[in-house]
Amino acid sequence: RAQEAAGWELLKQGKLRLASAQFEEALEAAPHSAGPLAGLGYVRMQEKRFADAEELFRKARVAAPEKKE
Instruction: Please write the tens of the pLDDT for every residue from 49-66.
Output: 999 999 999 999 999 877
Give 18's DSSP letter. H
Give the number of other Cβ atoms within 10 Å of residue 34's Cβ: 18
Q: Is the pLDDT of residue 69 over 60?
A: no
pTM (predicted TM-score) = 0.90
pLDDT of residue 65: 76
Q: What is the DSSP string of 29-61?
A: H-TT-HHHHHHHHHHHHHTT-HHHHHHHHHHHH
pLDDT of residue 66: 73
Instruction: Please write the tens of the pLDDT for every residue from 35-51.
Output: 999 999 999 999 999 99
